[in-house]
Structure 1
Amino acid sequence: MSSTAVVVANQYPGLQRAAILMLALGEDQCAQLFSMMHEEEIKEISLAMSQLGSVSAQAVETVCADFSSSITSAGMLVGSFDSTERLLQKSLSRERAAQIMEEIRGPAGRTMWDKLGNVNEAVLANYLKNEYPQTVAVVLGKVRPGHAARVLSLLPDSFAMEVVMRMLRMESVQKDVLDSVEKTLRSEFMSNLARSTRRDSHELIAEIFNNLDRQVESRFMTALEERNREAAERVKSLMFTFDDLIRLTPAAVGKLMRAAEKEKLPIALKGASEEIRTLFLSTLSERAAKLLRDDIAALGPVRLRDVDEAQGEIVLLAKELGAQGEIELNEREDEQMIG
């Protein structure tokens, strides 16, 4: 750790560094992270945010660069009760850390079912189809109705109806039965899921950097290059930017344009490369293409910040469409030839 990083670490305890990192990521990403936390965690980090005061640009850069460096060089991670408790004790009081660990080690049904409710329905259905109908009925009775409906629709019809009948006849679940189901899910399903879905740390950093303002992202990338050039190159190769939309087929670009906000498209294309602009315009009729060209020309000078924001929104939209199976983000990767 550099001398600057040591000074920042001493000046800002763990919880405050987490608050700095979340503020640096911006409102949208901060909101997404909050949505994955429990109420107590949100309160603690929110309090830390409100008490930060003025934080120097150097401190912000050091915290974020230290985070990215530690993530990209961590390799395989092993989570355990002991390692979790040590981390909590570094950022929280001993009493608060002990309280959280007691909740984790205890039944903690709330936490378990919250986690289960966030599991992809296809993954959950694939696991539950091999369980007893009564067990599945208990599980679907505990998760959100919308999530339960999607899981149920993916189960074999006859099995799904057996589960429905069990749910209709089920009045209340005895605590020992619920504890047994929860224990099985935690030891068999959730532990296997965690191992099978562990994300590459470089992919995680690439996704985070994709959501940063271009100038902030450039600053962090430069800092990462100074610390670990190999990791920085790997992250760069995994990042998906507006220029990467050149990989899309005209059909995929058409879907993206129809889904995009109409006022954002001219701004995004104003600062785009000629190849990207040509690809987008080629999907339109001659009249529609002329109207879009006119809209771009009518904008006049546009701030780089506005271009970055518009392009960022379209990139996020492309990722969402890709995740939904509407478009294939790497469809034309082998055809990408830019002279």
Structure 2
Amino acid sequence: MTRQKQLQQNGKDKAAVLLVSLGADISAEIYKHLTEEEIEELTLSISNVRSIDKETKNQVIAEFYQLALAKEYISKGGMSYAKQILEKALGPDEAMIIINKLTSIVRPFDFMRKADPKQILNYIQNEHPQTIALVLSYLEPQQSSQIISELQEDIQADVARRIALMDRTSPEIISQVEHILKQKLSVADDYTQTGGIETVVDVLNGVDRTTEKTILEHLDAQDPDLAEEIKKRLFAFEDIIALDDRSIQRLVREVNNEDLLLSLKTASDELKQVLFKNMSERMAETLKEEMEFMGPVQLREVEEAKTRIVNVIRKLEDAGEIVIARSGGDGVIV
């Protein structure tokens, strides 16, 4: 694969070529606006740049210029205006490539991340659930958690379901919603794509247990399969390591030993040590011996055992016998 083809697939390589082309002084100024992780990754990419042919250099600079120009058009007149100008200048195909690239690197609703969640709630709580779901998909999980907790109960589950089922939304619709909310909030600008089960899991992990239960109960009635998939991801087997010792000891007494044995087959060494530490010495030694002599098992059996253990954890939490730390609620564990 040639260097030029690699550049078409690797944004970090393109950024490295751009900075090398711009020179040390300008690159140093750009570094001031990056995170430590971004600086490390970019410096590594720059160190791997041995030589840059003129064609590649011109290609990267031209692409950067077009993206910067497109972003300026969007800030002045919105997505439709930018698309119209770019189509006249470059043709419809090239214009769409630039718009798609821009919407993949600029997150929508950035301006709302500067606003207080209560302020956002005031302006979106009367919107259609699909609009609320779209907005919450792009906010930080902590913001979305606080907002969804304050919505009416019948709307909470509907919004959670729409977030989970969301895939892609056209840039034009996102731009229209942004424009309307920007006028309401009277703050800055920006915008791109998200949604899906992982997003709603992030949101639910941040709400209090009462809100989570209410949403999941409604989802169970509306879409049982979706509710089950969300439940699986809300607390993963490896998250046991975050429980306090008393909760782990209570769990060990409750779970089936066969399930515990199967689940340890693929558990991390750290989690194994935490579990062994919270059971009797005899039980730990017995499990270690059985693990040593246990033959191959199907991964499906292991995952099913883990799921049963996670279900036990959720039942114990519902009964108030263990506590899973959450960022919602009063946040105090005694």
TM-score (normalised: structure 1): 0.35
- Determine which structure has more spread, i.e. the larger CA radius of gyration: 2
